[in-house]
A and B are shown apart, each in its own frame.
Chain A
Amino acid sequence: MFTGVGQRYNSLIQLVLTLLALLFVFPLAVMVSVSLRGEGFGNYLAVLRHPMIPRFFLNSVIVTACTIVLVYCITILAAYAFSKLPLRGKTVLFSALLVGLLLPAVAVMVPLFFTIRSLGLMNNYLALILPYTAFALPFTTLLARNFFDGLPNELLDAARIDGCNSFTALLRVVLPLSRPISVVVVLWTFLSAWNEYFLVLLFMQDDQMKTLTHAPQFFVGVYSQDTGKVFATLVLISLPIMVLYLLLQRYFESGMTSGALK
């Protein structure tokens, strides 16, 4: 969009971006300053040295990774069908799926609790993985479907002529082109699973099974809390997803369809 645009434009854009960045970074700076309160970096050391942290980290990783894999596979299948395959009642089904987005957490708390309990999944990773998947799917499917809508049907027609069935076409034609949306789906699912607090509270009563989001509890007392350490914990919790985000950044950078069309 900006090829051949003058230097004047560039400086203006740089300025705007810098101002926006300052605006966005400011609360983060406050957050870091609070996390250094009291003992400074000692807060971070104290958190990292806490015996339960590695276990919580492991639990978070397992739950989040499994959720991502499950969500990704199911999303691609469903979004592909909704976008590219002829289905009767497609709009109705899709709307029914979006209804899954609409339910407030408090409303689903009780029935979910009884479902998980009767399945015997208390203190089991699946007690978290399955609900996280269910909550993430409507949105990721919506995203993926819209993205697939943007892929020209000619590609699939070409694949069909080449003798592919719907599944092979998915694997050979659609998937390679869907890196940008795959990144979004992975990041979004990571986000919703990694930072989740409430279901862990309900289903993981065993301390060994809790996830990182419950780590700050160890620095909270009845009448006081070591706010510095609580914040240090929360800052540390947000680091993995930042790393993931940075790693996946480059999957955005490729002119995807240009090669296929020409």
Chain B
Amino acid sequence: MKHTKIRRLRWPVLLFTILVVSSLLLSACTGAVAPATTGGSAAGSAAAGEPVKITWWSWNGGPPVAGAQLGDPPQLVVEFNKTHPDIQLDWKFYQYNDYLNALKLAVASGEGPDLFGLQAGALVNEYNEFTEDLNPYANKDLGANWQDQYYALGFGGVTIGDKLPGMPIFNSAAGQLWYNKTILDKYNLQPPATLDEWVSVCKTLADNGETCFVHGAKDAWVNFDMYIALANELAPGKIYEAEAGKVPWTDPDLVKAMDLWGEMFKNGIMQKGALGISQYPDANDIWDAGKAAMILFGMWNDSVMTKTALATMQKQLGLTETFEFLPILFPDVNGDGKPGQLFGGPDVVLSMSSTSKNKDAAWEFIKWAASKEGGQKIMADNVSIPAMKGLTLNDSDISTDAQKANLKQQLVDLENAAGKREFVYPELKTALGDALQNVASGTQTSQQALEAVEQVSQGIQR
């Protein structure tokens, strides 16, 4: 009967079925692979007439093209491609967390992009061996003392010995207290010039039902900014010495700075639940929508003073009024009558991959991006702080005269920057981040927290 025949054939049937099914599947699936599209990284020098293709990956590509969609290539890429028809620069945007993952794997497998962005400090250190030294290129094309034309702080946390692993294209400094003038004017308040004033301004605002200061304490980096600002006010430069291991983290000045930090969570400056929100997008959204009077930011935020940015915000957030935002230097904490200093460095440096097959083309882009008529002009035109000295920022789109004057002053303040913003040792960053959050939540005292940091610091091989 039919059944007995099948029994004898059972395993061939099974095998056959599996093979047929799997091959059908695979052919169906792989057959649907997209037609060949433009590849990722370049491969060798171009044939005559064809542009050399290079790729650039970063989480920050500089100012966007006006009116473009958020995901489109930034001005640096568009302008460079226009003026260099023999090179085609492909840009790839990654959000920062994704970027860390993607870049690591790409670089480790030797198939990374020709150009990639790095943050000063830890990132530059870790990726150093995969970057090309830019000094030989720069010395040849830009002249012997080319670094003098650039802000010194642009090289902080970047140069390693004699090697330049990345070129600063635009700088940013932190330590600015931004305030919403529209809100403060409503209550006849002035932005605080001292720590005590800060507390009292916050009290007035709180009494009137407004949020005084918004801070995304979930993010370590913005907590660092606040702590560095406090520490530099009490003892300029000491925090950098502690990072270098020359001074213990339990130094009285650093402890006092930590105390002040902790107090902010009790004296009304920090909003309730600050530890539960991120700076971007949460705190920034609250700030942009005019729901808080102050926030701690840096010069990268200058674009909110432009009419274009305000219009975009209004559309995206559905606002009914526009605000006047202005930054001031950090309030005076140590009572010497002078406000705090800015601290910062290169926002993102441009690095060339040491395994790139198109180093000359890649260098062309770096050179152009760092040049006065090329990338630096784009920075200045877009209210971004150029790495090069001596450019005037374009303030035609700035809303008010007060803001225009403020912008000019910022560049002056930048020359007096106290130091850098990025720490070099990842373990130290983690430990300090934990310490700041623990003190903020009251889980640890300043002394305990900094002792833990010091312990980690001592274990670092410097």
Q: Mark B13-26, 1 if CB is under 8 A from A, else 0.
A: 11001100100011
**Which residues on A sit within 8 Å (CB–CB) of B33?**
124-125
Q: How far is the CA of A79 from the CA of B438 in the complex (A)?
A: 49
Judge whether A226 and B30 touch: CB under 8 Å: no
Does B40 touch A at the CB level, under 8 Å?
A: yes
Give the contacting residue for B301; candidates A70, A117, A201, A223; CB below 8 A. Answer: A223
Q: Are A109 and B101 in contact (CB under 8 A)?
A: yes
- A220-B95 in contact given A125-B33, A167-B13, A227-B285 (Cβ < 8 Å): yes
Asked if A164 is at the interface of the complex by the 8 Å CB criterion, the answer is yes
A221 and B315 form a contact (CB under 8 A): no
B1-58, CB < 8 A from A: 1, 3-4, 6-7, 10, 13-14, 17-18, 21, 25-26, 28-30, 32-34, 37-40
Q: Which of A6-14, A181-189, A204-212 lines the interface with chain B?
A: A204-212
Does B460 sit within 8 A of A, measured CB to CB? no
| Distance between B101 CB and nearest chain A CB, rounded to angstroms | 7
Determine if B142 is an interface residue (Cβ-Cβ < 8 Å).
Answer: no
Most B CB contacts (10 A, CB to CB) among A205, A208, A222 go to: A222
The residue in chain A whose Cβ has the minimal distance to the Cβ of B61 is A222
Scan residues 107-121 of chain A and give those whose CB is less than 8 A from a CB of chain B: 109-110, 113-114, 117
A119 to chain B, nearest CB (A): 12
Partner of B64, one of A38, A168, A218, A221: A221
**Bound: A126/B26 CA distance, A:** 8
A62 with B32, Cβ < 8 A, contacts A113-B109, A167-B10, A228-B316 known:
yes
CB within 8 A of B60: which of A73, A113, A117, A222?
Answer: A222
- Cα A217 to Cα B34 with chains together (Å): 21
How many angstroms between the C-alpha atoms of A114 and B34 in the bound complex?
22
Given contacts A167-B17, A227-B281, A37 and B102 within 8 Å (CB-CB): no
CA distance in complex: A219, B39 (Å): 24
CA distance A222 to B58 in the complex (A): 10
**B95 touching A217 by the CB < 8 A rule?**
yes
Q: Smallest Cβ distance from B189 to chain A, in angstroms?
A: 27
Interface class of chain B by DSSP: helix
Measured in the bound complex, the distance between the Cα atoms of B38 and A32 in whole Å is: 37
Is B105 positioned at the interface, with any CB of A under 8 Å from its CB?
yes
Q: Give chain B interface residues in 193-217, CB to chain A under 8 Å.
A: none
Q: A126-B29, A218-B69, A224-B281 are in contact. Are A202 and B101 (CB under 8 A)?
A: yes
Q: Is the CB of A223 within 8 A of B70?
A: no
Interface size class, chain B: 35 or more
Question: How long is the Cα–Cα vector from A2 to B30 in the complex, in angstroms?
Answer: 50
Quote the shortest CB–CB distance from B169 to chain A (angstroms): 13
Considering only residues 204-247 of chain A, those with a C-beta below 8 Å from chain B are 205-206, 208-209, 217-228
B40 touches A114 (CB 8 A): no
- With the chains together, A209 CA to B93 CA distance in Å? 16
Number of A-B contacts (CB under 8 A): 114
- Per the 8 Å Cβ criterion, residues 99-157 of A in contact with B are 109-110, 113-114, 117, 123-126, 129
- Give Cα distance in the complex from A113 to B104, angstroms: 11
The prevalent SS among residues of A at the interface is: helix
Could you tell me the distance in whole angstroms from the C-beta of A67 to the nearest C-beta in chain B? 9
- A-contacting residues, B427-456, CB 8 Å: none
* B38 neighbours in A (Cβ, 8 Å): 206
Q: A217-B71, A217-B95 are in contact. Are A224 and B284 (CB under 8 A)?
A: yes
Chain A nearest CB from B250 CB (Å) reads 34
Q: Is A166 an interface residue (CB 8 A)?
A: yes
Given A73, A117, A126, A209, which contacts B109 in the complex, CB threshold below 8 Å? A117
Contact (A218, B71) CB under 8 Å given A166-B10, A202-B101: yes
- Minimal beta-carbon separation of A58 from chain B (angstroms): 9
Q: Once the chains bind, are A227 and B70 in contact (CB under 8 Å)? A: no
Distance (whole angstroms) from the CB of B302 to the closest CB of chain A: 11
Which listed residue (B13, B29, B37, B301) contacts A62, Cβ 8 A?
B29
Q: Are A165 and B70 in contact (CB under 8 A)?
A: no
- Nearest-neighbor residue (CB-CB) of A63 within chain B: B29
> Given that A62-B32, A208-B34, A223-B280 are known contacts, is A163 also in contact with B71, CB under 8 Å in the complex?
no
Chain B residues with CB under 8 Å of A253's CB are: none
With an 8 A cutoff between CB atoms, is B160 at the interface? Answer: no
Check B10 against A38 for contact (C-beta < 8 Å): no
Partner pick for A38 among B71, B102, B280, B318, CB 8 A cutoff: B318
| Contact, CB under 8 Å: A125 / B318 | no
| CB atoms of A124 and B30 under 8 A apart | yes
Contacts of A228 in B (CB 8 A): 316
Which residues of the other chain, A, contact B94 by a CB distance below 8 angstroms? 201
B-side contacts of A219, CB under 8 Å: 69-71
Q: Which residues of A lie under 8 Å from residue B303 when comparing CB positions? A: 223
| Closest Cβ–Cβ distance, residue B141 to chain A (whole Å) | 29
Known contacts A66-B25, A126-B29, A209-B34; A163/B109 CB under 8 A: no
In the assembled complex, which residues on chain A have CB atoms less than 8 Å from the CB atom of B148?
none
- Report B-chain residues with C-beta under 8 Å of the C-beta of A77: 18
> What sequence of 0s and 1s flags, for each residue 32-44 of chain A, a beta carbon within 8 Å of any chain B beta carbon?
0000011100000
The answer to whether B321 has its CB under 8 Å from any CB of chain A is: no
For A202, the chain B residues whose CB sits under 8 A away are 101-102, 105
Question: With a CB–CB cut-off of 8 A, which chain A residues contact B285?
Answer: 227
Decide if A260 is an interface residue (CB 8 Å cutoff).
no
Task: Tell whether, in the assembled complex, residue B315 and residue A39 are in contact, meaning their CB atoms are under 8 Å apart.
Answer: yes
Residue pair A201, B98 in contact (C-beta under 8 Å): yes
In whole angstroms, what is the CA distance A164 to B280 when docked? 63
Whether A66 lies near B284 (C-beta < 8 A) is: no
Contact B98 A165 (CB under 8 A): no
Complex contact B6–A125 (CB within 8 A): no
Closest chain A residue to B300, Cβ basis:
A223
Once bound together, how far apart are the Cα atoms of A221 and B93, in whole Å? 9
Can you list 14 contacts pairing A with B, beta carbon distance less than 8 Å?
A37-B316, A37-B318, A38-B316, A38-B318, A66-B29, A123-B40, A126-B29, A164-B6, A166-B10, A167-B13, A167-B17, A201-B98, A217-B71, A220-B70
Please provide the 9 A-B residue pairs with the shortest distance between their CB atoms, ordered closest to farther.
A163-B3, A218-B71, A165-B10, A66-B29, A38-B316, A221-B70, A222-B60, A208-B37, A205-B40
> A162-B3, A206-B39, A227-B316 provided; 15 other pairs, C-beta below 8 A?
A38-B316, A62-B32, A66-B25, A113-B105, A117-B111, A164-B3, A205-B40, A206-B37, A208-B37, A220-B71, A220-B95, A222-B59, A224-B288, A225-B70, A226-B70
B-side residues, CB < 8 A to A, are 1, 3-4, 6-7, 10, 13-14, 17-18, 21, 25-26, 28-30, 32-34, 37-40, 59-61, 64, 69-71, 92-95, 98, 101-102, 105, 108-109, 111, 280-281, 284-285, 288, 300-301, 303, 312-313, 315-318
